[in-house]
Amino acid sequence: MNSDKEDDIRISEKETAGPSHAASATLLKGATILALAGIVSKIFGAIFRIPLTNMIGAEGQSYYSAAYPVYQLLYTVATAGFPVAISRMVSERIARGDYINAQKSYKLALKVSAALGLVAFAIMFAGAGAIARFYKNPGAEASMRAVSFALLLTPFLASMRGYFQGRQEMKPTAVSEVIEQMARVAAGLTLAYMFYKTSLEKAAAGATFGASAGVLAALIVMLLIYRSDRGRRKKLLKDSVLRKETDRERLKELLIFVVPITIGSSIMPIMFNIDAAIVMRRLLATGWDFTEAKKLYGLMGGYTDPIVGLPFVFVDAVCVSMMPAITTAYTLKNKADLDDHIKAGLKTLMIISYPCMIGLIVLAKPILTMLYFRKTDEALMAVPILQTLSVTIVLLAVMRAFSTGLQGIGRMMLPVVNLFLGALVKAGVSYVLVGIPELNVNGAAIGSITAYLTAGILNYLALRKYADISLDVRSIFITPLYAALIMGAGALVSYKLFFLITSSNAVSTLAAILVAVIVYFVTVFLTGAVTKEEIMMIPKGDMIYRLAVRMKIAR
């Protein structure tokens, strides 16, 4: 499968004539399920971060934001590669009717991930003090210890999600994600509220402990779902083909997938740790005092990251659904389905990410001052950071789509190398630009843009070489952007009009967002950004299309 020979992927047109729209429908339905769950989860996340930031401000967020990059890096090493690897191994065996070895592959991966999780917990819990001091932020030590307990449980949760995703069943992942966020919000905000008036360090630690509580709640739910699935598993195992595999063979295959995926997935947490290591040091070195440096660093983690992170749920959902679909098409040597999945996923991401980027650029100030009404001065300071970071929404979506395509066809190391090169670019750009007083933390945001742009271009060149894909640039990139620009103009004009009438920032912002949604819905049809066939592939697509027909924007 991993051969460099051209005929490994360049299948004859005769064999693959006639794209399978059923395959694309499966992809989009799976993505929609995960996206809806992700939206709910991100809403809970916003409910969590917004009052938390209003309570502890930028200084408290500097402790919270310093702990999470470390946690994310150790989480990635212990678990992040396993859901994708399990999904790939399980889906490949199920495609052949080999349910027995699909189950054995999942159980083996779970054991390996759990062992790594134990090591990660020990490192973070015992080393919290040293890490916090290295980042020039000793107040983050308690937050690092509080979140470390999640590392004991996430391997089990992540592995079970990967198993169901490999079976192209996205509902268990969706349900557990919602439960995880609900528990995180309840526990984190309660603990933060208990301490924020007496100690920002303890309040931030209580907030980070919410992640551990959330993982525990989600794991309980996944265990119940897995238990309820026992009857179906027995039937599938009974009907399975008999194919001999050893644990050694499965472990070797697992490592072939996990190692490059884990390394590749680690690059983004490393990028966040680059910010944690560089930003404070460079700010202090260029004349900012310690209190102001903490505040500036906290602006990114507390004020802008929760907002920019909301659209990323769609990126994750589409890419997670793309992986098993691309793997299955590649395993069955179905070139038409392979092309369809990559193009459908990429276009879906552009239709979603463009309006998010444009909307945040034109409404950055009203959105920030509406959400963080108790910290207006700090919210205004975060406006240019949010506008700059909004560009990363589109660039990350493109990079991840191409990266998923490469992983799905077995080119596991290429996205790793490309993202590593992007991280090197970011480190250099961030170091130089953060040191410019007029840019300060905006330099780190610009560094992120250069990283995703570099990796995305390299991923595309590799995918074109090895999968022979050809992209309709106008359909995928230009037309959705045109619709999003019209939407952005409508949002900006409507905000100004509503503000003249109401003098209320909150009312005007919410009204402008509603207008933007309506305008974008209309323009994607009028500009031809979406077709009837594409709308009909998603759940409730017929209902959406009928609404467009009634509005006389579709035929």
Residue among 513, 516, 511 nearest 487 (CA): 516
Flag whether pLDDT at 22 surpasses 70: no
- pLDDT, tens digit (0-9, with 9 covering 90-100), for 429-442: 999 999 998 899 99
- Characterise 243 by phi-psi region: left (phi > 0), alpha (psi -120 to 50), beta (else): beta
Poorest-pLDDT segment among 105-114, 259-268, 381-390: 259-268
Tokens of 92: 């490949």
What is the chain's alpha carbon radius of gyration, rounded to the nearest angstrom? 23
Percent of the chain with pLDDT over 70: 92
Arithmetic mean of pLDDT, 345-371: 93
The separation between CA 47 and the C-alpha centre of its own chain, rounded to angstroms, equals 18
Sign of the dihedral defined by the CA atoms of residues 36, 162, 397, 452, in that order: positive
Identity of the residue numbered 214: G
Arithmetic mean of pLDDT, 127-136: 90
pLDDT score at 478:
92
Q: Are 441 and 285 in contact (CB under 8 A)?
A: no
Tokens of 458: 């390299």
Strand stretches in 304-371, DSSP E: none
Q: What distance in Å separates the CA atoms of residue 503 and residue 481, rounded to the nearest whole number?
A: 31
pLDDT score at 18:
37
**Which residues, in sequence order, are CB contacts of 160 under 8 Å at separation 6+?**
110, 172, 219, 222, 223, 226
Q: Are 162 and 226 in contact (CB under 8 A)?
A: no
Residue among 513, 528, 515, 514 nearest 483 (CA): 528
Poorest-pLDDT segment among 103-117, 489-503, 511-525, 534-548: 534-548
Strand stretches in 47-126, DSSP E: none
Flag whether pLDDT at 151 surpasses 90: yes
Q: What distance in Å separates the CA atoms of residue 454 and residue 312, rounded to the nearest whole number?
A: 19
CA triple 245-247-249, angle to 5 deg:
60
Token pair 């590593």 is at which residue?
420
- Residue 14: which pLDDT band, with cuts at 50, 70 and 90? very low
- Characterise 503 by phi-psi region: left (phi > 0), alpha (psi -120 to 50), beta (else): left
Check residues 290 and 361 and name the one with the higher pLDDT: 361
Q: What distance in Å separates the CA atoms of residue 545 and residue 260, rounded to the nearest whole number?
A: 42
Q: Collapse the DSSP code of 166 into the 3-class scheme (helix H, G, I; strand E, B; otherwise coil) and give the result.
A: helix
Check residues 34 and 62 and name the one with the higher pLDDT: 62
**Whole-number average pLDDT of the chain:** 85
Greatest C-alpha distance within the chain: 73
Arithmetic mean of pLDDT, 446-450: 93
Identity of the residue numbered 409: I
Among 261-265, 466-470, 479-483, which range has the highest average pLDDT?
Answer: 479-483
Tokens of 454: 């570099």
The DSSP letter of residue 109 is H
Flag whether pLDDT at 28 surpasses 70: no
pTM: 0.73
CA triple 58-64-65, angle to 5 deg:
80
Residue 236 burial (C-beta neighbours within 10 Å; 0-12, 13-18, 19+): middle
The separation between CA 507 and the C-alpha centre of its own chain, rounded to angstroms, equals 30
Check residues 428 and 168 and name the one with the higher pLDDT: 428
Sign of the dihedral defined by the CA atoms of residues 50, 270, 40, 549, in that order: positive
Poorest-pLDDT segment among 138-152, 330-344, 530-544: 530-544
Flag whether pLDDT at 315 surpasses 50: yes
pLDDT score at 499:
96
Q: Are 90 and 102 in contact (CB under 8 A)?
A: yes
pLDDT score at 393:
95
Arithmetic mean of pLDDT, 515-526: 92
Q: What distance in Å separates the CA atoms of residue 455 and residue 457, rounded to the nearest whole number?
A: 6
pLDDT score at 461:
92
Q: Are 59 and 200 in contact (CB under 8 A)?
A: yes
- pLDDT, tens digit (0-9, with 9 covering 90-100), for 50-109: 888 889 888 888 898 888 889 988 988 888 778 878 888 888 888 888 888 888 888 898
Residue 13 burial (C-beta neighbours within 10 Å; 0-12, 13-18, 19+): exposed
Residue among 151, 144, 157 nearest 208 (CA): 144
